[in-house]
Structures are given as structure tokens and as C-alpha cells.
A and B are shown apart, each in its own frame.
Chain A
Amino acid sequence: QVTLKESGPGILQPSQTLSLTCSFSGFSLSTSGICVSWIRQPSGKGLEWLATICWEDSKGYNPSLKNRLTISKDTSNNQAFLKITSVDTADTAIYYCARSGAPPVHYFDYWGQGVMVTVSS
């Protein structure tokens, strides 16, 4: 059974760095062809892909946010991480992690429940 669960700080102030953790089970990020991604959704709005990390440690970032994002993984502990630097109120959103295949089969078949992150002074 594949499950993913996100965790984060809940609330942080503008200019701080957001650190998110995705803990998963039922698959391994050392398995060929497997990737984990981060996607976010501001309240009442659409979905935005942020970043992906795959089994062989390749990484991809949304070009509009690339300079602020860092994705990483801990394969032995079944975790993936995302850091976003210099946050502001526009980064307030629900953040999801999801499993996907490697390109070209880069669609998300399992999602976590999401974690709400609020940026406020």
C-alpha cells in the first residue's frame, strides 16, 4: 500500500526558508523509474508543480521558482525534502508530495494529504 505524508512548519514569516518533508511507504526511491514531486495549491486555486527528484538523483525544478527551490531525498529513510528560500505571502498554500514515474511517464499516481503552509508577519 502506497502512502505519502507531508510535514512542515505550519506558519512562517516573510523572508524565511520553508522546509518540507515527505515521508512515504509502499515504494522506494531507489527503485528504477520512481520519482517524488512537490506540488502546491493556494486556497481555492489551481495546482502548480514545483520540483521532482528521481531514483538516480536527477532533479527538475519549475523554471519560475528554480532559484528558490532545493529538492533532496533520504532513500534509506523513505523521505523527500523541499526547501523554498525567501518566502512571501504568495507562497501560502497547501503543499502536496506525490509519486510519479520518470519522464515521459511523469504523472502523479499517489498523493499525500497535503500540508498547509501560511506565510505571515
Chain B
Amino acid sequence: IQLTQSPSLLSASVGDRVTLSCKGSQNINNYLAWYQQKLGEAPKLLIYNTNSLQTGIPSRFSGSGSGTDYTLTISSLQPEDVATYFCYQYNNGYTFGSGTKLEIK
């Protein structure tokens, strides 16, 4: 399954509601996770099984979706959210999206 993330680059202001998209080439059956990767660091798990928040992750992060279309939402963007965000599917093989780089405007 190939994953297409959009946009590839997103610039937003502190406090904005931000939405990142991940679209699969086939049905993902909700076996989708989101990772945050800050510069020079390993990826960090934010969301698994489409909408389950990993322990210790702030509640401003949420996930939704079904079928082939999934979304990561940050309800109120904070400066520490600057990072690249990857979606990852584990329904059929294991593949990552190409990432969305999130910047502060």
C-alpha cells in the first residue's frame, strides 16, 4: 500500500488548528499510525489504530479517518510542534508516507 501525504509543507501560526492528510492506495482498515519527527531525533509515536492517542502525547493531537483517507489534527498549534509528520500503515505490508513538514508562520 502506498501512502500519499499532503501537503508536503505546511506553514501555520501558533494557536491555529492544523490538519494533515494521508491517503492510501488501498483500504487501510484503520491500521494507521502517525509519527512526529523533530530535527535530529528519532520518530515518536503520536497516534495508533487511526485515533488512539499514545500515552504521554498532548490531547491537542487527534486522528481520524477510515478506508483510504486519514487525518491528523492539531487543535492549537504550539511552537514545539515544529516537526515532520509521517503516517504509517500496517494493514498490508508496512509503509510510511513521505511526510509533511510543519513550520510556524
A42 CB → nearest B CB, Å: 12
Q: Is A77 interfacial (CB-CB < 8 Å)?
A: no
Scan A100-121; emit 1 where CB is below 8 A from any B CB, else 0. Answer: 0001111111011110000000
B98 & A96 in contact (Cβ 8 Å cutoff): no
From B54, B97, B99, give the contact of A109 (CB < 8 A): B54
Given contacts A47-B86, A104-B31, contact A112 B94 (CB under 8 A): no
Closest chain B residue to A48, Cβ basis: B96
Contacts of A104 in B (CB 8 A): 31, 90-91
Query: Provided the pairs A104-B31, A107-B45, A111-B43 are in contact, do residues A47 and B96 lie with their beta carbons within 8 angstroms?
Result: yes
- Whether A46 lies near B90 (C-beta < 8 A) is no
CB contact between B96 and one of A37, A46, A63, A112 (< 8 Å): that residue: A46
Question: Is B61 engaged at the interface, CB distance under 8 Å to the other chain?
Answer: no
A49 within 8 A of B: yes
Number of interface residues of A (CB under 8 A): 20
Q: Is B95 an interface residue (CB 8 A)?
A: yes
Chain B min CB distance to A25 (Å): 16
**A46 adjacent to B88 (CB under 8 Å):** no
Could you tell me the distance between the alpha carbons of A62 and B94 in the complex, rounded to whole angstroms? 8
**In the complex, A89 Cα to B34 Cα: how many Å?**
29
Task: Give me 22 A-to-B residue pairs in the complex whose CB atoms sit less than 8 angstroms apart, sorted by A's number.
Answer: A46-B86, A46-B98, A46-B99, A47-B43, A49-B96, A62-B94, A96-B42, A103-B90, A104-B31, A105-B90, A106-B90, A107-B33, A107-B48, A107-B49, A108-B35, A108-B43, A108-B45, A108-B88, A109-B45, A109-B54, A112-B42, A113-B42
Q: A interface vs B, CB < 8 Å?
A: 37, 46-49, 52, 62-63, 96, 103-109, 111-114
Q: Which 10 A-B pairs have the closest CB atoms?
A: A111-B42, A49-B94, A47-B96, A107-B33, A106-B90, A107-B48, A46-B98, A109-B45, A114-B42, A46-B96
